[in-house]
A and B are shown apart, each in its own frame.
Chain A
Protein backbone atom coordinates (compact mmCIF):
# COMPACT_ATOMS: atom_id res chain seq x y z
CA UNK A 1 0.00 0.00 0.00
CA UNK A 2 1.68 3.17 -1.13
CA UNK A 3 1.00 5.71 1.59
CA UNK A 4 4.02 7.87 0.91
CA UNK A 5 2.62 10.49 -1.41
CA UNK A 6 5.55 11.93 -3.25
CA UNK A 7 5.61 14.89 -5.58
CA UNK A 8 6.42 13.11 -8.78
CA UNK A 9 5.96 14.59 -12.18
CA UNK A 10 2.61 12.86 -12.61
CA UNK A 11 1.17 14.85 -9.68
CA UNK A 12 0.87 18.05 -11.68
CA UNK A 13 -0.19 18.54 -15.25
CA UNK A 14 2.66 20.51 -16.79
CA UNK A 15 1.59 19.98 -20.37
CA UNK A 16 -0.06 23.17 -21.52
CA UNK A 17 -2.11 23.37 -23.57
CA UNK A 18 -3.38 19.81 -23.42
CA UNK A 19 -6.17 20.23 -25.94
CA UNK A 20 -4.95 22.21 -28.96
CA UNK A 21 -6.55 25.45 -29.99
CA UNK A 22 -7.02 26.47 -33.61
CA UNK A 23 -4.20 28.78 -34.70
CA UNK A 24 -4.86 31.31 -37.46
CA UNK A 25 -2.26 33.60 -39.07
CA UNK A 26 -3.18 36.60 -41.14
CA UNK A 27 -1.35 37.43 -44.37
CA UNK A 28 -1.49 40.19 -46.93
CA UNK A 29 -3.69 39.11 -49.85
CA UNK A 30 -1.67 41.27 -52.20
CA UNK A 31 1.67 40.07 -50.94
CA UNK A 32 1.36 36.42 -49.88
CA UNK A 33 4.13 35.52 -47.47
CA UNK A 34 3.86 38.89 -45.76
CA UNK A 35 2.10 38.88 -42.41
CA UNK A 36 -0.61 41.49 -42.13
CA UNK A 37 -2.24 42.54 -38.90
CA UNK A 38 -5.96 42.70 -38.53
CA UNK A 39 -7.22 46.06 -37.30
CA UNK A 40 -9.67 46.14 -34.42
CA UNK A 41 -10.23 42.39 -34.57
CA UNK A 42 -12.96 40.93 -32.37
CA UNK A 43 -13.86 37.24 -32.30
CA UNK A 44 -16.89 35.45 -30.96
CA UNK A 45 -18.49 32.09 -31.55
CA UNK A 46 -22.04 31.98 -32.84
CA UNK A 47 -24.38 32.67 -29.95
CA UNK A 48 -21.62 33.56 -27.48
CA UNK A 49 -19.89 36.65 -26.12
CA UNK A 50 -16.67 38.01 -27.56
CA UNK A 51 -13.55 36.13 -26.42
CA UNK A 52 -12.08 38.51 -23.80
CA UNK A 53 -8.54 38.24 -25.19
CA UNK A 54 -9.71 39.12 -28.69
CA UNK A 55 -11.73 42.27 -28.27
CA UNK A 56 -10.76 44.93 -30.85
CA UNK A 57 -7.11 43.89 -31.04
CA UNK A 58 -4.45 44.28 -33.71
CA UNK A 59 -2.76 40.93 -34.28
CA UNK A 60 -1.31 38.74 -37.02
CA UNK A 61 -1.82 35.46 -35.15
CA UNK A 62 -4.58 34.11 -32.91
CA UNK A 63 -5.41 30.85 -31.12
CA UNK A 64 -9.08 30.11 -30.54
CA UNK A 65 -10.71 27.11 -28.83
CA UNK A 66 -12.93 24.64 -30.66
CA UNK A 67 -16.08 23.29 -29.06
CA UNK A 68 -15.23 19.70 -28.09
CA UNK A 69 -18.84 18.70 -27.47
CA UNK A 70 -20.08 19.41 -31.00
CA UNK A 71 -19.01 18.58 -34.56
CA UNK A 72 -18.57 22.17 -35.66
CA UNK A 73 -17.68 25.59 -34.35
CA UNK A 74 -18.79 28.77 -36.09
CA UNK A 75 -16.70 31.87 -35.42
CA UNK A 76 -17.43 35.44 -36.38
CA UNK A 77 -14.36 37.61 -36.98
CA UNK A 78 -14.92 41.34 -37.06
CA UNK A 79 -12.33 43.80 -38.31
CA UNK A 80 -12.44 47.49 -38.89
CA UNK A 81 -9.74 48.97 -41.11
CA UNK A 82 -11.03 52.51 -40.93
CA UNK A 83 -12.16 54.31 -37.82
CA UNK A 84 -13.83 51.94 -35.39
CA UNK A 85 -17.35 53.08 -36.21
CA UNK A 86 -19.93 50.33 -36.38
CA UNK A 87 -20.80 51.25 -39.95
CA UNK A 88 -17.30 50.28 -41.07
CA UNK A 89 -17.20 46.89 -39.31
CA UNK A 90 -16.57 43.96 -41.60
CA UNK A 91 -17.64 40.60 -40.21
CA UNK A 92 -16.49 37.30 -41.70
CA UNK A 93 -17.75 33.89 -40.67
CA UNK A 94 -15.36 30.97 -40.32
CA UNK A 95 -16.92 27.54 -39.95
CA UNK A 96 -14.80 24.65 -38.70
CA UNK A 97 -16.15 21.10 -38.94
CA UNK A 98 -14.36 18.14 -37.35
CA UNK A 99 -14.59 14.84 -35.53
CA UNK A 100 -13.38 15.17 -31.91
CA UNK A 101 -11.29 12.33 -30.50
CA UNK A 102 -10.43 11.89 -26.82
CA UNK A 103 -6.90 10.75 -26.08
CA UNK A 104 -5.51 9.83 -22.67
CA UNK A 105 -2.41 11.83 -21.70
CA UNK A 106 -1.54 11.14 -18.07
CA UNK A 107 -2.92 10.81 -14.54
CA UNK A 108 -2.71 14.53 -13.83
CA UNK A 109 -3.53 15.85 -17.31
CA UNK A 110 -6.37 13.41 -17.97
CA UNK A 111 -7.80 13.20 -21.47
CA UNK A 112 -7.19 15.75 -24.18
CA UNK A 113 -9.26 16.24 -27.32
CA UNK A 114 -7.90 16.04 -30.87
CA UNK A 115 -9.79 17.16 -33.94
CA UNK A 116 -9.79 14.89 -36.98
CA UNK A 117 -11.00 15.35 -40.56
CA UNK A 118 -11.07 19.11 -40.18
CA UNK A 119 -12.81 21.20 -42.85
CA UNK A 120 -12.77 25.00 -43.05
CA UNK A 121 -15.14 27.30 -44.87
CA UNK A 122 -15.81 31.04 -44.89
CA UNK A 123 -18.40 33.36 -46.29
CA UNK A 124 -17.37 36.18 -48.60
CA UNK A 125 -16.32 39.12 -46.51
CA UNK A 126 -12.92 40.58 -45.70
CA UNK A 127 -11.33 37.09 -45.86
CA UNK A 128 -10.28 36.89 -49.52
CA UNK A 129 -8.73 33.45 -49.33
CA UNK A 130 -7.41 30.87 -46.89
CA UNK A 131 -5.39 27.68 -46.97
CA UNK A 132 -5.68 24.78 -46.41
CA UNK A 133 -9.35 23.90 -46.80
CA UNK A 134 -8.95 20.62 -44.94
CA UNK A 135 -6.61 19.13 -42.34
CA UNK A 136 -6.38 15.47 -41.40
CA UNK A 137 -5.85 16.32 -37.75
CA UNK A 138 -5.23 19.12 -35.27
CA UNK A 139 -3.17 17.61 -32.46
CA UNK A 140 -0.87 20.47 -31.51
CA UNK A 141 -0.61 24.22 -31.87
CA UNK A 142 3.08 24.55 -32.60
CA UNK A 143 2.41 26.07 -36.00
CA UNK A 144 -0.50 27.86 -37.63
CA UNK A 145 -3.28 25.61 -38.90
CA UNK A 146 -4.81 28.07 -41.32
CA UNK A 147 -3.33 30.99 -43.26
CA UNK A 148 -5.87 33.71 -43.87
CA UNK A 149 -5.34 36.28 -46.63
CA UNK A 150 -6.94 39.69 -46.43
Chain B
Protein backbone atom coordinates (compact mmCIF):
# COMPACT_ATOMS: atom_id res chain seq x y z
CA UNK B 1 0.00 0.00 0.00
CA UNK B 2 1.17 3.47 -0.77
CA UNK B 3 -0.10 6.89 0.17
CA UNK B 4 2.11 9.20 -1.81
CA UNK B 5 -0.14 12.17 -1.29
CA UNK B 6 -0.18 12.05 2.49
CA UNK B 7 1.93 15.22 2.81
CA UNK B 8 -0.79 17.24 1.16
CA UNK B 9 -3.45 16.24 3.65
CA UNK B 10 -4.23 19.68 5.03
CA UNK B 11 -6.31 18.36 7.95
CA UNK B 12 -3.22 17.12 9.82
CA UNK B 13 -1.91 19.81 12.17
CA UNK B 14 1.58 19.37 13.42
CA UNK B 15 2.88 20.56 16.76
CA UNK B 16 6.43 21.19 17.80
CA UNK B 17 8.62 18.70 19.64
CA UNK B 18 11.67 19.89 21.50
CA UNK B 19 13.25 20.95 24.74
CA UNK B 20 11.36 23.44 26.86
CA UNK B 21 13.37 25.33 29.50
CA UNK B 22 12.29 27.92 32.02
CA UNK B 23 12.22 29.10 35.59
CA UNK B 24 9.80 29.22 38.50
CA UNK B 25 9.15 32.93 39.03
CA UNK B 26 7.13 32.45 42.23
CA UNK B 27 10.21 31.70 44.30
CA UNK B 28 12.14 34.98 43.73
CA UNK B 29 8.87 36.88 44.30
CA UNK B 30 8.28 34.97 47.52
CA UNK B 31 11.84 35.79 48.62
CA UNK B 32 11.15 39.52 48.23
CA UNK B 33 8.27 39.36 50.68
CA UNK B 34 9.73 36.78 53.06
CA UNK B 35 13.09 37.69 54.55
CA UNK B 36 13.53 34.17 55.86
CA UNK B 37 13.43 32.56 52.42
CA UNK B 38 15.43 32.48 49.21
CA UNK B 39 14.94 30.10 46.33
CA UNK B 40 15.42 29.54 42.64
CA UNK B 41 14.13 26.76 40.44
CA UNK B 42 14.89 25.93 36.82
CA UNK B 43 12.51 23.70 34.92
CA UNK B 44 12.79 21.67 31.73
CA UNK B 45 10.72 19.17 29.84
CA UNK B 46 11.18 17.17 26.71
CA UNK B 47 8.34 15.83 24.65
CA UNK B 48 8.73 12.13 24.07
CA UNK B 49 5.26 11.34 22.76
CA UNK B 50 2.09 12.98 21.56
CA UNK B 51 0.90 13.43 25.15
CA UNK B 52 3.93 12.47 27.25
CA UNK B 53 6.72 14.73 28.46
CA UNK B 54 9.84 13.89 30.41
CA UNK B 55 10.05 16.62 33.05
CA UNK B 56 12.58 17.82 35.60
CA UNK B 57 13.11 20.68 38.01
CA UNK B 58 16.33 21.61 39.77
CA UNK B 59 16.61 24.26 42.41
CA UNK B 60 18.16 25.74 45.50
CA UNK B 61 16.31 26.86 48.60
CA UNK B 62 17.26 28.32 51.95
CA UNK B 63 14.71 28.86 54.66
CA UNK B 64 14.85 29.83 58.32
CA UNK B 65 12.07 28.22 60.33
CA UNK B 66 11.10 30.36 63.30
CA UNK B 67 9.09 28.34 65.78
CA UNK B 68 7.98 29.06 69.33
CA UNK B 69 10.88 27.13 70.82
CA UNK B 70 13.46 26.86 68.03
CA UNK B 71 15.10 28.75 65.18
CA UNK B 72 16.70 26.68 62.43
CA UNK B 73 17.91 27.14 58.86
CA UNK B 74 17.83 24.57 56.08
CA UNK B 75 19.61 25.12 52.78
CA UNK B 76 20.53 23.01 49.84
CA UNK B 77 19.76 21.76 46.36
CA UNK B 78 17.14 19.48 44.95
CA UNK B 79 16.11 17.73 41.77
CA UNK B 80 12.77 16.34 40.71
CA UNK B 81 12.43 13.95 37.79
CA UNK B 82 9.31 12.47 36.29
CA UNK B 83 6.65 12.65 33.61
CA UNK B 84 3.78 14.90 32.61
CA UNK B 85 0.74 13.63 30.75
CA UNK B 86 -1.21 16.16 28.69
CA UNK B 87 -4.93 15.42 29.00
CA UNK B 88 -6.02 18.33 26.79
CA UNK B 89 -7.02 17.87 23.14
CA UNK B 90 -5.81 20.91 21.28
CA UNK B 91 -7.62 22.58 18.40
CA UNK B 92 -5.79 22.98 15.18
CA UNK B 93 -2.08 23.58 15.82
CA UNK B 94 -2.51 24.98 19.33
CA UNK B 95 -0.15 23.63 21.93
CA UNK B 96 -1.73 24.13 25.35
CA UNK B 97 -1.86 21.61 28.15
CA UNK B 98 -3.93 20.52 31.09
CA UNK B 99 -1.55 18.03 32.57
CA UNK B 100 -1.04 15.63 35.39
CA UNK B 101 2.37 14.47 36.45
CA UNK B 102 4.41 12.39 38.81
CA UNK B 103 7.87 13.09 40.19
CA UNK B 104 10.60 11.60 42.28
CA UNK B 105 12.32 14.24 44.39
CA UNK B 106 15.76 14.23 45.98
CA UNK B 107 17.23 16.97 48.17
CA UNK B 108 20.80 17.35 49.44
CA UNK B 109 20.92 19.90 52.21
CA UNK B 110 22.22 20.86 55.58
CA UNK B 111 20.33 22.19 58.58
CA UNK B 112 21.56 24.42 61.36
CA UNK B 113 19.83 24.66 64.71
CA UNK B 114 20.54 28.34 65.36
CA UNK B 115 18.97 28.67 68.78
CA UNK B 116 16.34 27.16 71.02
CA UNK B 117 14.55 27.73 74.28
CA UNK B 118 13.84 24.63 76.38
CA UNK B 119 10.09 24.27 76.84
CA UNK B 120 9.88 24.12 80.63
CA UNK B 121 6.38 25.69 80.87
CA UNK B 122 7.32 27.14 84.23
CA UNK B 123 7.23 30.80 85.13
CA UNK B 124 8.81 29.96 88.46
CA UNK B 125 12.05 28.79 86.86
CA UNK B 126 11.94 30.32 83.37
CA UNK B 127 14.31 28.89 80.78
CA UNK B 128 16.80 30.96 78.84
CA UNK B 129 17.38 30.93 75.05
CA UNK B 130 20.44 28.93 74.06
CA UNK B 131 22.55 29.85 71.03
CA UNK B 132 23.36 26.44 69.65
CA UNK B 133 24.62 26.86 66.06
CA UNK B 134 24.71 23.11 65.54
CA UNK B 135 24.97 22.20 61.85
CA UNK B 136 24.22 18.80 60.39
CA UNK B 137 25.70 18.56 56.88
CA UNK B 138 24.91 16.14 54.06
CA UNK B 139 21.29 15.41 54.89
CA UNK B 140 19.04 13.90 52.23
CA UNK B 141 15.30 13.80 51.62
CA UNK B 142 13.39 11.58 49.20
CA UNK B 143 9.79 12.09 48.19
CA UNK B 144 7.20 11.62 45.46
CA UNK B 145 4.87 14.22 44.02
CA UNK B 146 1.60 14.07 42.13
CA UNK B 147 0.77 17.25 40.30
CA UNK B 148 -1.87 18.87 38.16
CA UNK B 149 -1.44 22.05 36.18
CA UNK B 150 -2.01 24.03 33.03
CA UNK B 151 0.36 25.34 30.37
CA UNK B 152 -0.61 28.06 27.93
CA UNK B 153 1.39 29.14 24.90
CA UNK B 154 1.14 32.91 25.16
CA UNK B 155 3.53 33.89 22.41
CA UNK B 156 5.01 31.54 19.87
CA UNK B 157 7.06 28.96 21.82
CA UNK B 158 6.70 30.92 25.08
CA UNK B 159 4.71 29.13 27.76
CA UNK B 160 3.25 30.18 31.08
CA UNK B 161 2.47 27.34 33.45
CA UNK B 162 1.07 26.89 36.90
CA UNK B 163 0.69 23.71 38.89
CA UNK B 164 0.05 22.41 42.37
CA UNK B 165 1.53 19.26 43.75
CA UNK B 166 0.81 16.85 46.55
CA UNK B 167 3.99 15.55 48.12
CA UNK B 168 4.59 12.39 50.09
CA UNK B 169 7.96 12.16 51.81
CA UNK B 170 9.29 8.67 52.33
CA UNK B 171 12.75 9.30 53.78
CA UNK B 172 13.94 12.52 55.39
CA UNK B 173 17.19 12.66 57.38
CA UNK B 174 17.02 14.38 60.76
CA UNK B 175 19.89 15.90 62.65
CA UNK B 176 20.73 14.38 66.02
CA UNK B 177 18.27 15.32 68.79
CA UNK B 178 16.37 17.58 66.37
CA UNK B 179 14.17 17.26 63.32
CA UNK B 180 14.28 18.48 59.74
CA UNK B 181 11.64 21.22 59.70
CA UNK B 182 12.18 22.24 56.07
CA UNK B 183 13.78 20.42 53.15
CA UNK B 184 14.64 22.15 49.85
CA UNK B 185 12.18 21.18 47.12
CA UNK B 186 9.98 19.36 49.59
CA UNK B 187 9.08 22.38 51.69
CA UNK B 188 7.85 22.33 55.23
CA UNK B 189 8.14 18.82 56.63
CA UNK B 190 4.87 17.95 58.31
CA UNK B 191 4.46 15.32 60.99
CA UNK B 192 2.36 13.31 58.54
CA UNK B 193 5.12 13.43 55.88
CA UNK B 194 2.79 15.00 53.33
CA UNK B 195 2.49 18.52 51.99
CA UNK B 196 1.48 20.74 49.09
CA UNK B 197 3.61 22.67 46.64
CA UNK B 198 2.93 25.44 44.17
CA UNK B 199 4.72 26.34 40.99
CA UNK B 200 4.44 29.24 38.51
CA UNK B 201 6.83 29.05 35.61
CA UNK B 202 7.68 30.78 32.37
CA UNK B 203 9.42 28.61 29.80
CA UNK B 204 10.61 28.70 26.24
CA UNK B 205 10.36 25.87 23.74
CA UNK B 206 13.37 25.17 21.59
CA UNK B 207 11.70 23.26 18.76
CA UNK B 208 13.67 20.40 17.28
CA UNK B 209 11.06 19.02 14.96
CA UNK B 210 7.36 19.02 14.13
CA UNK B 211 5.20 15.95 14.19
Contacts and interface: CB of A to CB of B under 8 A. Distances in A.
Chain A interface, >50% SS class: loop
Interface stretch (B81-89, B91-99, B124-132, B202-210): B124-132
Interface stretch (B3-11, B13-21, B183-191): B183-191
A1 B198 contact: yes
A102 interface: yes
B61 A1 contact: yes
Interface string A83-123: 00000000000000000001111111111110000000000
Nearest to A3: B198
Interface in A3-29: 3-4, 6, 8-10, 13, 16-19, 21
Interface stretch (B46-54, B66-74, B152-160): B66-74
B70 A110 contact: yes
Given A8-B190, A10-B190, A104-B179, A111 B128 contact: no
B120 interface: yes
Contact of B119 (A6, A9, A73, A112): A112
B174 to A, nearest CB: 9
A44 B27 CA distance: 54
A43 to B, nearest CB: 10
Given A68-B127, A109-B119, A111-B70, A3 B179 contact: no
Question: Which 6 pairs, one residue from A and one from B, show the smallest C-beta to C-beta distance?
Answer: A110-B69, A2-B187, A65-B122, A10-B191, A67-B125, A110-B119
Interface of B: 26-27, 30, 39, 61, 65, 67-70, 116-122, 124-125, 127-128, 167, 177-179, 181, 186-188, 190-192, 195-199
